[in-house]
Amino acid sequence: MQEQYRTVAREGVHETEINRSRFICALAPAASEQEAQDFVARVRREHPTATHNCFAYVIGADAAVQRASDDGEPGGTAGAPMLQMLLRRETRYVAAVVTRYYGGVKLGAGGLIRAYGGVVGEALDALGTVTRQRFRIATVTVDHQRAGKLENDLRATGRAVREVRYAEAVTIEVGLPGADVDAFRAWLADATAGTARLELGGEAYGAA
């Protein structure tokens, strides 16, 4: 499983003009293939009169799902270079749609490949990317007396506090890099004089 992956920081649009054709790249983070497909459908609805709405998306930290469509452009000149740009930039859980309004000048296969791949790269630069780190989810149970100080100590040492729940005892959910589990266990025992209980859960990705 990947330790980390990169994705687009936010949804947004970047536009460029090449030989009088407008190329509008819409990018969005997508947590699943369904989300990616919904985004593609939404952009198509926004540009019903466009000459082409080509798309590419990559889902999974290991890029397990990859799809691309030329949407009527010559085979391999639109979706494939878009997908290659997403992969070259190591972005995951991301969907890209490039809308083209034809300007009357043919670009040729090489020109199309450069245009479609290039506008995706420009959009990634314009919108920025964020890195997501793989975390082990750890739940710490501690008494009320120690909870406030422990939460402050966790944040002060740069650990990712995900959720705090108050009941008979206080449970604090923390995201830990896998390599940090043993060190954290020792730190926790020291910080709470051995009174806190630690349970390790599943894995998730969060801001690095």
Model confidence pLDDT, tens digit, residues 7-26: 999 999 999 999 999 999 99
87 neighbors 120 (Cβ within 8 angstroms): no
Pairing mode, if any, of strands 129-142 and 160-166? unpaired
Query: What angle, rounded to 10 degrees, do the helices at 79-88 and 108-127 form?
Result: 40
pLDDT, tens digit, 9 for 90 and up, residues 58-95: 999 889 999 999 999 999 999 999 999 999 999 999 99
Cα distance between residue 57 and residue 49, in whole Å? 23
pLDDT number for residue 1: 56
Task: Return the CATH number of the domain spanning residue range 132-207.
Answer: 3.30.70.240
Q: Please, what is the end-to-end C-alpha distance for the chain in angstroms?
A: 16
pLDDT, tens digit, 9 for 90 and up, residues 139-198: 999 999 999 999 999 999 888 898 999 999 999 999 888 778 899 999 999 999 999 999
Q: At 119, is the pLDDT very low, low, confident or very high (cuts 50, 70, 90)?
A: very high
* Three-state SS at 101: strand
As a whole number, the mean pLDDT across the chain is: 93
Is the model more confident about 23 or about 207?
23
pLDDT at 38 over 80: yes
Which DSSP string corresponds to 26-66?
Answer: EEEE-SSHHHHHHHHHHHHHH-TT-SEEEEEEEESTT--EE
Cα distance between residue 112 and residue 106, in whole Å? 9
Dihedral sign, Cα of residue 133, residue 134, residue 139, residue 142? negative
pLDDT number for residue 133: 79
Q: What is the dihedral of CA 58, 60, 66, 72, to 10 degrees?
A: -40
Q: At 207, is the pLDDT very low, low, confident or very high (cuts 50, 70, 90)?
A: low
pTM of the model: 0.73
At which residue do the structure tokens 């085979």 appear?
75
Query: What topology does CATH give the domain 4-127?
Result: Ribosomal Protein S5; domain 2 (3.30.230)
pLDDT number for residue 193: 93
Pairing mode, if any, of strands 52-59 and 197-207? unpaired
Q: Mean of the pLDDT values across residues 114-142?
A: 93
CB atoms within 10 A of CB 37: 15
Residue ranges of domains in the chain:
4-127, 132-207
